[in-house]
Amino acid sequence: MGSSLPIPAEPLLQQYGQGARLCPCANDQLTLVFSQEYPFDLVELEQLLEAVGWSRRPIRRVRKALTHSLLKVGLWRHDARVPRLIGFARCTGDGVFEATVWDVAVHPLYQGNGLGKQMMAYILNALAQMGTERVSLFADPGVVSFYQGQGWDLEPQGHRCAFWYAN
């Protein structure tokens, strides 16, 4: 399930956590690392999400949402002292029957290199290791083909998605 991404060398595992994986990348000057453990600077995270065009959200609420998320993944441009956050995604869910993917973002400067696809492979693998049976997401029109191309089932059994907004 999911592709097996390369395991980094020991110093990187110590910096980014034992679940860290390398993200293959065309530019061999860059080392890119997926991590669930390297701590987020919430201002840097919001800058990333703003760079992909999402509206800024109060830091306090972002912190609470991350605390309640099942899985948070950062994609880091490695630096021994100051790694830079260039990608992000998170999941909510029970980790058993269901998980739902939200906030998938790759910084515009790094898009078009398959990093989003590697990110999804990393996430599906992590969820599979938890024993999650089914993963869901709500795709914007612009990314429907991105997910279909990776084997996601669009509205299986005629499922429709529905949203309810406060206010």
List the one residue from 51, 66, 111, 114 that touches a second copy (CB under 8 A).
66
Write down the least CB distance from residue 136 to a second copy, Å. 5
For residue 19, what are the contacts with CB-CB under 8 A and spacing of at least 6?
A: 35, 36, 37, 126
Residues 99-118, one symbol each (x = binds a second copy by CB under 8 A, - = not), give: xx-x----------------
Is-contact 6 22, C-beta < 8 A? yes
Nearer to a second copy, 52 or 98 (CB): 98
In the complex with a second copy, the residue whose CB is nearer, 26 or 166, is: 166
Strand pairing class (32-35; 84-93): unpaired
Quick check: 91 and 101 in contact, CB under 8 A? yes
16 as an active site residue: the answer is no
Please identify which of the residues 16, 122, 147, 165 carries the catalytic annotation: 147
- Contact map string, positions 72 to 101, toward a second copy, x by CB under 8 A: --------------------xxxxxxxxx-
49 binds a second copy (CB under 8 A): no
- Phi then psi for 101, rounded to 5 degrees? -90, 135
Spatial separation of the C-alpha atoms in residues 139 and 84, rounded to whole Å: 27
Per the CB < 8 A criterion, the answer to whether 20 and 37 are in contact is yes
Q: Does 59 bind a second copy (CB under 8 A)?
A: no
Min CB(22)–a second copy separation in Å: 23
